[in-house]
Structures are given as C-alpha cells and as structure tokens.
DNA sequence: CCTTAATCCTGGAAGC
DNA sequence: TGCTTCCAGGATTAAG
C-alpha cells in the first residue's frame, strides 16, 4: 500500500509524535515479522530508557533510531549515532501508528513500544508482507540491507536514472518499479508519472533518452512532492503515524481503466505489466510500436 | 537477459 | 442472506 509519499508522511508525523520520548517498554508478539542481524531481545535491552531520535527514510523503508548518548567526552560511538536501529517496511497493509494511552491496539499488531508519556507506537500488518529488521547501527542497515536499493526517488538525478534504464529492454513501468533502479515508486505513482511525462509504460528502457530522464526526474519530484504535501494517498487503509488518512487526489490514471482521459478524452487502457495492473492513455502516451495490449 | 507464475497473507468488494 | 471468486499500495523466488 504505501509508496514513498505515504512512508514520508509517516516519517514526518513520527518526528512530531515520538522523537525525544523515552522508551519504557516493548513487545514483539510475532517473531516471524522480525529479521536482520540484531534480535529483538538485544535491541530491546539497548533501547530501554533511551530517547527516540529522528526517523530516516530510504525509498519505502524507515529506520527508527535512538538519540545518541548525551555528550560525554568518552562517548566515541555517539558520533556514529545509534545503538541499535529498527528498519520498518510497511509492505502492502502495514501501519506504524501512535496510540494515546489507554487505547487498545488494533488486531494484527505484531510489535509495539510504550513511551514515557504512556502513548504506544505500534506496527500493525494484517497481510504481513511488511516487516521489521534489527541492526546494530544505521551504518549496518545501510550496508547490509539498503545497499541493494537505488537512489531515493526524491534524490536520483537524470544521469543515474538513465544509467539504470539504458541497459535494459524491459518495459519502463517494470524498471521504475524495480527498487534497485530507483527506490520509492510503486504501482500508483509510476502510472501517474508516466502519464505526466507522456511516455508509454511499454517503452523499452533502452530507448528512453537523456532528455526523457530529465523530464522523468522533474515530474517525479513534482508529483511526489505534491503527494507528500497532501499527506499521501489513501485508497483503503493507509494512515500516517497520527492516524490521519492521506488527502492526495491528484490521480489521473490510477484506478481509471476504461474511463476517459482527463487530457484528451479518449478511453484509458489497462493491462498487466510486471504482474501489476497498469493504466495509461494510448492517445497521450501511445507509441503503438511497443506492442501494447489492453 | 527476460518474462511469467507462484508465493507469502488478510479482508473487502463484487458476483451469483 | 450466504458462499465463492477476485483483487489489492510489495517483493522474492523459481521456472521456462
């Protein structure tokens, strides 16, 4: 469910709700949602009594950290930040949400932290496509888990994107969904992006020009920026860490297969690319030579 | 290399 | 009112 704008909205709301608060308790009620090289028990003892720090995001993943120890002359590892980090991936149905004291946690809550003000930060994920991973430090998380990710979609430059596209004949839609090429885009925003730049989702990566990549990068930032400003997209159950749904309504093709294009009034096509439902406008994005179907 | 299908799960919506 | 089938914002794996 959550793509970059939703995960970024969670990160921002977490900053205002939990940063600086001490961890006083924690429960992992399903150990099969936990991975990485630091077991929950190790992390729990490292975090107990510590204050949460600023969450970090890369693509669709978040890193929860604790604040470095208060400046003391001998605290060498304080410079390296955290003693233990938790990486969170929300998958399709995951939520990371803060609940007021006395509130019951929702069903399918697999992990939670109790904070000093009696609020609880909980990871809830009915479908369990998401997960949590423990590491000793942000450096370990970056080198062991995030190293396979491409540049974040808000940061990637045209040259890097072009490098990721030019060597392949895979459909552009499939390449943009590939987190190793660019991290953060998912099914909704790829379709919206391709409509915005008027490129067919079937375009082979290798024929995308440098100039196309400039337009892709510019549109990506604009689109994702607008979605973040609106708090993300809620189709069914996405909410940020404060429980608020997303207000982004700027979708022009996603979920509109068979309806009229808002730009040219022609019918929108839909089909399957990389096993994902894809909607595009053959009139605006059409390049019949790429063998579209739908 | 590339694509396709299956897989991990639950729950909501649609169809009969 | 059921019961069945399909579909979903993700990602990996195996097979062809």
Task: Provide the greatest CA pair distance for chain A.
Answer: 68
Q: Does strand C come within 7 Å of the CB of A60? A: yes
Strand C closer than 7 A to residue A277 Cβ? yes
- Integer CA distances (angstroms), A18 to A13, A53, A121, A168, A234, in order: 9, 8, 8, 43, 23
The alpha carbon of A31 is separated from its chain's Cα centroid by a whole number of angstroms, namely: 23
Nucleotide nearest to A32 (CA to C1'): B8
Nucleotide of closest approach to A293 (CA, C1'): B3
Q: Which residues pair with A139 in a beta bridge?
A: none
- Asked if A173 and A274 touch (Cβ cutoff 8 Å), the reply is yes
A38 beta carbon to strand C: under 7 Å:
no
* Structural contact between residues A223 and A193, judged by C-beta atoms closer than 8 angstroms: yes
- Measured CA angle at A228 (ends A145, A195), to 5 deg: 90
Q: Using the CB atom, is residue A177 less than 7 Å from strand C?
A: yes
C-beta atoms surrounding A62 within 10 Å: 23
**Active site members of A:** 2-3, 60, 276
Q: How far is Cα A11 from Cα A252, in angstroms, rounded to an integer?
A: 26
Query: Cβ of residue A220 near strand C, that is under 7 Å?
Result: no
Report how far residue A97's alpha carbon sits from residue A125's, in angstroms, rounded to the nearest whole number.
11
pLDDT tens digit at each of 294 positions of chain A: 699 999 999 999 999 999 999 999 999 999 999 999 999 999 999 999 999 999 999 999 999 999 987 665 555 554 445 699 999 999 999 999 999 999 999 999 999 999 999 999 999 999 999 999 999 999 999 999 999 999 999 999 999 999 999 999 999 999 999 999 999 999 999 999 999 999 999 999 999 999 999 999 999 999 999 999 999 999 988 999 999 999 999 999 999 999 999 999 999 999 999 999 999 999 999 875 675 544
The nucleotide whose C1' lies nearest the CA of A6 is C9
| Bases in strand C with any atom closer than 7 Å to a protein CB | 7-12
């Amino acid at each position: 469910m959550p793509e970059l704008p939703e995960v970024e909205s969670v990160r921002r709301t977490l900053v205002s709700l939990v940063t600086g608060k001490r961890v006083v308790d924690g429960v992992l009620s399903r150990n099969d949602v936990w991975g990485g090289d630091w077991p929950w028990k190790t992390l729990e003892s490292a975090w107990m009594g510590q204050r949460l720090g600023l969450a970090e995001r890369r693509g669709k993943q978040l890193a929860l950290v604790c604040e470095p120890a208060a400046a003391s002359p001998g605290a060498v590892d304080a410079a390296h930040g955290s003693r233990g980090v938790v990486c969170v991936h929300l998958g399709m149905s995951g939520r990371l949400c803060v609940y007021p004291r006395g509130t019951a946690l929702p069903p399918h809550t697999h992990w939670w932290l109790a904070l000093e003000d009696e609020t609880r930060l909980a990871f809830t994920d009915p479908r369990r496509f998401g997960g949590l991973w423990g590491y000793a430090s942000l450096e370990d998380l970056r080198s062991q888990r995030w190293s396979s990710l491409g540049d974040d979609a808000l940061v990637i430059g045209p040259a890097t994107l072009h490098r990721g596209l030019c060597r392949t004949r895979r459909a552009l839609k499939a390449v943009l969904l590939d987190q190793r090429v660019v991290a953060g885009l998912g099914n909704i925003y790829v379709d919206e992006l391709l409509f915005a730049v008027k490129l067919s989702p079937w375009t082979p990566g290798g024929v995308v020009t440098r100039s196309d990549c400039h337009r892709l990068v510019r549109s990506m930032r604009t689109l994702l920026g607008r979605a973040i400003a609106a708090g993300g997209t809620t189709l069914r159950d996405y909410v940020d860490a404060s429980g608020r749904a997303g207000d982004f309504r700027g979708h022009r093709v996603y979920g509109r297969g068979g309806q009229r294009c808002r730009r040219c009034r022609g019918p929108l096509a839909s089909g399957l690319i990389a096993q994902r439902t894809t909607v595009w406008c053959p009139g605006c994005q059409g390049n019949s030579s790429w063998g579209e179907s739908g």
